[in-house]
Amino acid sequence: MMNWLQSSSDMAERVRQHDWASTPLGPLEQWPDVLKTTAALCFASSFPQAIIWGPQLITLYNDAFIPILGDKPAALGRPFSEIWHEVWDQISPIADAAFEGHATYIENFPLVIERGAGPEQAYFTFCYSPIRDPDGKIVGMLDTVTETTTTVFLTQRLAALDTIGNAVATATDAEHIMATTTRLLAQHMQVSNCAYADMDADEDGFTIRGNWAAPGSPSIVGHYSLASFGAMAVQRLRAGEPLVVQDNRIEFAPEDAASYQALGALATVCFPLIKHGRLTALMAVHDKKARVWSPYDLALVGEVTERSWAHIERVRADAAVREGLAAFTELNASLEQRVQERTAALTQAEAALRQSQKLEAIGQLTGGVAHDFNNLLTIIRSSVDFLRQPGLSEERRQRYMGAVSDTVERASKLTSQLLAFARRQPLNPEVFDAGQRVRNIGEMLESVTGARIHVQVELPDAPCHVRVDSSQFETALINIALNARDAMDGQGTLVLRVATVDAMPRIRGDAAVHEGFVSVSLTDTGSGIAGDTFEHIFEPFFTTKAVGKGTGLGLSQVFGFAKQSGGNVDVSSRVGQGTVFTLYLPEVAPPAMPLAPRPEDLAPVHTATPRHILIVEDNLEVGRFANQILQDLGYRTTWATDAEQALALAGADALGFDGVFSDVVMPGMTGVAMAKVLRQRRPDLPVVLTSGYSEELADSGYEGFEFLAKPYSADQVARALAKAMP
């Protein structure tokens, strides 16, 4: 041992300089070798260690053991049982076992020790190892201490959080969550009160809405002024920092301490909730005794606060969603029905959003429609007033009747353009060669654009087929051509070019589509489109033309037709150098059989033998005119005002009529649904559907029935019936 002391480093020097004479065994030279060795190891250890020698006398301890003694500094030379008399009943069996030759330990033993901030609760594991002399006789024991405070506190915190979490896991009410949380937290921490509060809107006051009070502690529910708790409290809480008070009698001025003491509290921990940059709520624990709040206490209260408010936010959000759904689902009993309705509502909302993004404002759309229709109605009304005048010449009568007919056609076209832009126009798709159709349109455009505009058509060598509404296709190209004519001020070159491409590029945020498309481009040499108007060209009623020179619906019809046909329309332009519009439509295989003639190619047919037609129309005025038209065409008619009445008149086999002429939009069952029922009864029954607009037709098409758009003329009715009943 002495050789080791002479050759060792700093630790050996500390052993030499120790006041060995003050130890119970006297100077170091008189110590047994085994004790010298143990003493050296004790001083060398970074763990708290103490040597108990002989009759349980505390002989030596290192510096790390000093905090363990706490308020027992005069421990050397005194019996172990005397120093730890208050817990000797717990320690005695373990110490006795060590003196009997057994290595023993006591785990997670609680002690209050002095640290930098003052007395603090801590936990230690004490290991007692017997010290034997060379003959194997037990002459003392070595007490080695390991601090387990962090582990114990972490275990306790997790257990508390788990208990609170399980208690409120299925809670759906914020008040229940906070009442349960405050009770369990207060009981775990053994405090007198635990409460939560909502801040006033001005952040100057708060209301304690829930409070758990230990037996003998007052309830603190009520409204309080934040300023009354001291400037420091206000500053820290508004900054999002916890307020920690160990003894308000010492830490605060008497007037500020009075507010805490009115709550029956001397010690307080208060955590703020900052939301959107403002103080919105508080959660606090109070104790009626002064108390040193450990890091464990602060960590637990902080985490419980954060978790509780997060849970409450989720519960409140869920409640808001449930309340919102209740407006749509109050008549439904099952969760599945509620989910289905919510999904349908979201789908409709998304569709409405996509549509609304194409409009600058709903007022612009409404105003434009009203302006154009009022103009048309003015012409019709004036013409009708003139027709009522007595003694009107035949020439003027024909002129006014022609004006009414032309105006109705213009109104019908305006409605068609609106529906096309909205992608709600029922289309009648057919397969045709886009190149051949563009060739025909190019020849016709010569007369539309004027002699000073040269129209060129460039077509591919092979046919390229599309399946779209041919009438809407032609209208779209004419609308683009008319805009090009105006941009060129009546003089320039317009090139129509048809080609096939492997993909449709990304257009205005829409993803690219890697499939075969037919591109139809129209290139002009006009003035181009200015940057401030470029983003608005497809919006309805947007026009740069003078008043009365255009409705602003031409390009919106092009956009709606392209999107509803599964394609898109792109545009590029340079001011002063011209514009290129490119229409992309999905390419399809050529038809296997010759195309059937279009309804326009059929002449009106007046039947020689009267056929019996069932008319279904709920509008009395329209039904009266339809009935008169069919009778004038030579048909025998029966008129029903709704689908249910029509089905009853048709009978189980629907053999009582030669055909059906029906409106689509009616109260109750729609015309499409009625026609399907009639076709089930009689598959070969001719059916002609008619409508000004039907969302059902816009979404699903004509379902294999002949269709006639409103408004219609007698000739159009004759052609539709002739096609349905050859």
Measured between alpha carbons, how far is 301 from 679 in angstroms, rounded to an integer? Answer: 73
pLDDT given at position 548: 42
137-146, 226-235, 664-673: the lowest-pLDDT one: 137-146
Residues 622, 521 share a domain: no
| Tokens at 628, concatenated | 């008169």
User: How confident is the model over 375-434, as pLDDT tens digits?
Assistant: 556 667 656 766 777 877 777 777 767 767 766 766 666 666 555 444 445 566 889 999
pLDDT of residue 495: 92
* 520 neighbors 497 (Cβ within 8 angstroms): yes
Give CA–CA dist 439/477, Å, rounded: 12
* The token pair that represents 83 in the structure block: 């120093």
- Which pairing describes strands 659-663 and 687-691: parallel, antiparallel, or unpaired? parallel
Domain range for 80: 2-147
Percent of all residues in the chain with a pLDDT value above 90, rounded to a whole number: 10
Q: What does 643-659 look like in DSSP terms, one character per residue? A: HHHHHHHH-SS--S-SE
Buried b (16+ CB within 10 A) or exposed e, 163-182: ebeeebeebeebeebbbbbb
Range in 76-85, 88-97, 593-602 the model is least confident about: 593-602
Tell me, yes or no, whether 107 and 252 share the same domain.
Answer: no
Does residue 107 sit within a domain?
yes
pLDDT at 260: 79
Q: Hey, what are 115's tokens?
A: 């640290």
Cα–Cα dist 636/634, whole Å:
7
Decide if 476 is inside a domain.
yes
* Closest C-alpha among 456, 448, 537, 520 to residue 485: 448
SS (H, E, C) 27-52: CHHHCCHHHHHHHHHHHHCCCCEEEE
**For 488-521, b where at least 16 C-beta lie within 10 A, e where not — what string?**
beeebebbbbbbbeeebeebeeeeebeeebbbbb
C-alpha–C-alpha distance, residues 310 and 109, integer Å:
36
Q: Is the pLDDT of residue 670 over 70?
A: yes
**Which among 151, 184, 153, 149 has a CA at the least distance from the CA of 166?**
184
Name the residue with tokens 């000093």: 66
Which pLDDT does position 39 carry in this prediction?
62
Higher-confidence residue of 375 and 212: namely 212
E strands within 350-491? 429-433, 453-458, 465-469
Is the dihedral angle over the CA atoms 79, 83, 86, 90 positive or is it negative?
A: negative
Residue ending a domain, choose from 95, 114, 147: 147
Q: Do residue 47 and residue 183 come from a single domain? A: no
pLDDT at 106 > cutoff 70: yes
Please determine, for residue 559, whether its predicted confidence score (pLDDT) is greater than 70. Answer: yes
- In whole angstroms, what is the distance from residue 93 CA to residue 101 CA? 13
Note whether 520 and 638 are same-domain residues.
no
Residues 504-530 have a mean pLDDT of 88
User: Other C-beta atoms within 10 Å of 650: how many?
Assistant: 23
Confidence of residue 498 (pLDDT cuts 50, 70, 90): very high
Of residues 135 and 634, the one with the higher pLDDT is: 634
Average pLDDT over residues 620-629: 83
pLDDT of 521 higher than 80:
yes
In a domain, 420, yes or no: no
Same domain for 85 and 19: yes
Burial of 607 (0-12, 13-18, 19+ CB in 10 A): middle
**CA angle (374 as vertex; 363, 384 as ends), nearest 5:** 165
pLDDT score for 212:
79
Q: Could you tell me if 442 and 550 lie in one domain?
A: yes
Residue 146 has pLDDT above 50, yes or no: yes
- Please state the rounded mean pLDDT for residues 647-669: 89
Q: What phi, psi does 104 have (nearest 5°)? A: -130, 170
Is position 92 within any domain?
yes
Q: What is the pLDDT of residues 476-494, one digit of tens each?
A: 888 888 888 888 887 889 9
Span of 270-284, 550-564, 567-581 with lowest mean pLDDT: 550-564
Domain boundary among 554, 588, 622: 588
Specify the pLDDT at position 604.
Answer: 45
pLDDT, residue 638, reads 92
CB-based contacts of 646-650 (< 8 A; 24+ apart in sequence):
646/614, 646/616, 646/674, 647/674, 647/677, 647/678, 649/614, 650/614, 650/678, 650/681
Mean pLDDT (the chain) is 75
Strand order across the 138-147 sheet:
57-61, 49-53, 138-147, 118-132, 104-115
Highest mean pLDDT among 67-76, 83-92, 604-613, 652-661: 652-661
User: Where a domain ends, among 588, 622, 639?
Assistant: 588
Within a domain: residue 418?
no
Whole-angstrom Cα distance, residue 309 to residue 135?
67
- Which residues pair with residue 570 across a beta bridge? 582
Same domain, 556 and 697: no
User: Do residues 646 and 584 share a domain?
Assistant: no
Q: Who contacts 225 (Cβ-Cβ below 8 Å, separation ≥6)?
A: 204, 205
Q: Which comes out higher in pLDDT, residue 62 or 262?
A: 262
Q: Out of 155-169, 177-191, 585-599, which region has the weakest mean confidence (pLDDT)?
A: 585-599
β-partners of residue 140 are 53, 131
Lowest mean pLDDT among 143-147, 164-168, 170-174: 143-147
Residue with tokens 């409204």: 223
Tell me: pLDDT of 547 over 90: no
CA dist 429 and 565 (Å) reads 9
Render 587-604 in DSSP notation, one character per residue.
Answer: EEPPPSSPPPPPGGGSPP
Which CATH number characterizes residue 132's domain?
Answer: 3.30.450.20
Instruction: Give this prediction's pTM.
Output: 0.36
Q: Which two three-digit tokens encode residue 464?
A: 């390229």
Task: Report residue 18's pLDDT band, with 50, 70 and 90 as the boundaries.
Answer: very low
Single-letter amino acid, residue 506: R
Scanning 536-618, the segments in alpha helix (DSSP H) are 554-564
CA-nearest of 233, 217, 213 to 225 is 233
Q: 97-103: which pairs have CB atoms within 8 A and are 24 or more residues apart?
A: 97/128, 98/128, 98/129, 98/130, 98/141, 99/56, 99/130, 99/138, 99/141, 100/130, 100/138, 101/130, 101/138, 102/130, 103/127, 103/128, 103/129, 103/130
Digit-coded pLDDT (tens) for 347-364:
776 666 555 544 444 445
- Per mean pLDDT, which range of 253-257, 405-409, 621-625, 720-724 is the poorest? 405-409
**168 within 8 A of 176, measured Cβ to Cβ:** yes
Shared domain for 572 and 625, answered yes or no, is no
> Measured between alpha carbons, how far apart are the two ends of the chain, in Å?
126
Most confident of 169-173, 373-377, 707-711, 721-725: 721-725
- Angle, helix 174-189 to helix 149-168, in steps of 10 degrees: 150
433 and 581 in a single domain? The answer is yes
Q: pLDDT band for position 662 (50/70/90)?
A: very high
Task: Return the CATH number at 688.
Answer: 3.40.50.2300
Same domain as 681, residue 712: yes
Highest averaged pLDDT of the listed ranges 136-145, 333-342, 620-629? 620-629
On whether the CB atoms of residues 51 and 60 are closer than 8 A, the answer is: yes
| Position 612 pLDDT exceeds 90 | yes
Judge contact between 132 and 139, C-beta under 8 A: yes
Supply the pLDDT for residue 601.
46
Domain-embedded: residue 596: no
Is residue 109, in this structure, part of any structural domain at all? yes
Please give the Cα distance from 560 to 359 (Å, whole number): 13
231 and 120 in a common domain: no
Q: Which of 198, 263, 190 is nearest to 228 (CA)?
A: 263
Can the peptide bond before residue 463 be classed as cis, meaning omega within 30 degrees of 0?
Answer: no
The pLDDT score that the predictor gives to residue 585 is: 94
Q: Which residues touch 444 (CB under 8 Å, ≥6 apart)? A: none
At 593 the pLDDT is: 60
The helix, strand and coil proportions of the chain, stated in percent and rounded to the nearest 5, come to 45, 25, 30
Which of 60, 63, 62 minimizes the C-alpha distance to 52?
60
- Total domains in the chain come to 4
Amino acid at 486: D
Gap between the Cα atoms of 120 and 66, Å rounded = 15
The predicted structure's pLDDT at residue 392: 76
> Would residue 394 count as lying in a domain?
no
Q: Assess whether pLDDT exceeds 70 at residue 702.
A: no
